[in-house]
Amino acid sequence: MYFISPSKGRLSFNQVFRDLLAFINEHPEDHYKIIVGTDSQLRETVCYVTAIVILREGKGGRFYYTKERQKGKLSLKQRIFLETTRSLEVASRLAGKFATIGLIDFNIEIHLDVGTQGRSKEIIREVVGMVTGSGFDARIKPDSYGASTVADKFTK
């Protein structure tokens, strides 16, 4: 799996992690938010995009994304569960890497592409439960810009 950074190009997961640390170390006194979100688009195949966003609160940020296409027709519910699973996998890897350097309290938010409007409202409780049960904070629309804005941009 590799990620794309708009400013740095193609990066491995480890390179993304090192870049996140470098960004934090530029201004270690600031507050940071790390967000993972996944969106998908169904056409002939399903295109999944998972984004990692780091925000230096009030001062900008960076993002990285990975894209994967999968054959097969899936229902909306199946796609949203797969989106959530993909976000959890990336967030878990990040949390593990942060833990290895002693940053065990670094909070990672998972942004879900579900909201109280539209067809996805029926499964909000299930996917939010998956995320919170895994130890992460969950955000839904309109607060889930990591999935509904950043990742969504690259599914097109």
Q: Which residues lie closer than 8 Å to 102 by C-beta, 6 or more apart?
A: none
Spatial CB neighbours of 141, under 8 Å, sequence gap ≥ 6: 113, 114, 115, 116, 117, 148
d(CA 22, CA 84): 28
Is the distance from CB of 120 to CB of 114 less than 8 angstroms?
yes
Q: Mean pLDDT over residues 102-111, rounded?
A: 85
How far, in Å, CA of 6 to CA of 11, rounded? Answer: 11
Q: How far apart are CA 19 and CA 34, in angstroms?
A: 13
Q: How many domains does the chain have?
A: 1
Q: What is the pLDDT of residue 89?
A: 98
Looking at the chain, the whole-number percentage of residues with pLDDT higher than 90 is 87
Q: Which domain does 11 fall in, by range?
A: 2-153
DSSP symbol at 121: G
pTM of the model: 0.95
Q: Which residue has the higher pLDDT, 104 or 140?
A: 140
pLDDT above 90 for 69: yes
